[in-house]
Structure 1
Amino acid sequence: MYQAYTHGDFPMVGFIVMVYLGYLGLMYCINQLRALPLTRTSPKKYFLKSIIWVLAIVLFFGFAHQFPTFVHPLVAVFMFGATISTSYFLFFLYLVHNCNPHQSTNSYYTLRIKVVGVSAPSSKVIINGNKLIRDVVPAPGNV
């Protein structure tokens, strides 16, 4: 930011300030949305989701607008295409699909693996109570 200011590149200074403030606002809104209860929708939830979408799109379009001067025009077209497709994806995710930022306990599966013998390269592995033979490389992460 200092280099841009000393060289008189005030649009770059504005862009850097916009990125920092946009990112801080985005993180604040996401944390506020996660702090809300999981119950039914409320106007505050819808407002926060809208603000998250707008801030993300402003940041994406800011990057897509600022950097085409440094790259090939084909890459610039790709950057704008990626920004537009991400905009549609986030709109669908937050506003149409009504995505919940909380992770449900049923949305992932915990797989517990216990290595029974570590001397042979092909060790017996117990996966959730079922004995299976798998090729397991003995390592601290596999125990």
Structure 2
Amino acid sequence: MLPNHFHGENPTSLARNSCNICSESLRYTQSIAYFYLTFNSIRTIWRAYMHNDIPMVAFIVFAYFGYFIVDHCLTVFNRLPSDEESPKKELLRVTIWSLTSAIMFGFAYQFSTFMGPTVAVLMYGIAIVSSAVLFYAHFIYDAHRGSKAFCSVKSSKALQFPSPADRDIDPDIKTLEQV
């Protein structure tokens, strides 16, 4: 049976290439989303400015930059080791929770000004519940999960994928890799 890769090409490099293609398509999708967000924010700021609605301009600018700050903080937070506590991690938690909550309450305030009282109460209720769930997820659940380090070194090592040097290599494949 013929291998499904080119002569002299390592099968693991094909897997790496497919991962690169996935990450490139993810970057492309993120770029489209960021462009769409930027375009709509500029359009909304322009319309609010033309109607002399300066509080709406300020809120949209705050929400736009707040979104990117929260996105960056989440990226940095997810790259940190999950098993250790540090002041940087705590600051990131506070920043993520407070900025996200402020943006949600800002939307509730901006939309409640032209909606009925029932819808306004509902929007503030959604902002309160979302903020509480986010607080629970970042402060209570993470702290509770971190204090119960139930994974030992052996069990965490068993969940890792073995490197190519650790695996038993078929002699035919080994000869193909050497060619």
TM-fit CA distance, 1:48: 0.5
TM-fit CA distance, 1:72: 1.9
2:79 maps to 1:35:
yes
Partner in structure 2 of residue 135 of structure 1: none
Residues 36-88 of structure 1: CA deviation (Å, up to 9, x unaligned): 12331111111101110001100100000100123221011001011111111
Whole-Å separation in 2 of the counterparts to 1:87 and 1:38: 22
Whole-Å separation in 1 of the counterparts to 2:108 and 2:92: 24
Partner of 1:98, secondary structure, is helix
Tell me the TM-score normalized by structure 2: 0.53
Aligned pairs for 1:1-143 (under 5 A) are 1-98=45-142
Q: Which amino acid aligns with 1:2?
A: W
Partner of 2:113, secondary structure, is coil
Higher fraction of helix:
2
Q: Unaligned 5+ residue runs, structure 1?
A: 101-105, 107-143
Partner of 1:67, secondary structure, is helix
Query: 4+ residue stretches of structure 1 with deviation over 6 A?
Result: none
Q: Which amino acid aligns with 1:46?
A: E
Tell me the TM-score normalized by structure 1: 0.66
Whole-Å separation in 1 of the counterparts to 2:59 and 2:140: 30
Partner of 2:84, secondary structure, is coil
Higher fraction of strand:
1
Partner in structure 2 of residue 112 of structure 1: none
Whole-Å separation in 2 of the counterparts to 1:38 and 1:16: 33
Whole-Å separation in 2 of the counterparts to 1:31 and 1:17: 21
Whole-Å separation in 2 of the counterparts to 1:28 and 1:12: 24
Q: Unaligned 5+ residue runs, structure 2?
A: 1-44, 146-155, 157-179
Give RMSD over aligned pairs.
Answer: 1.7
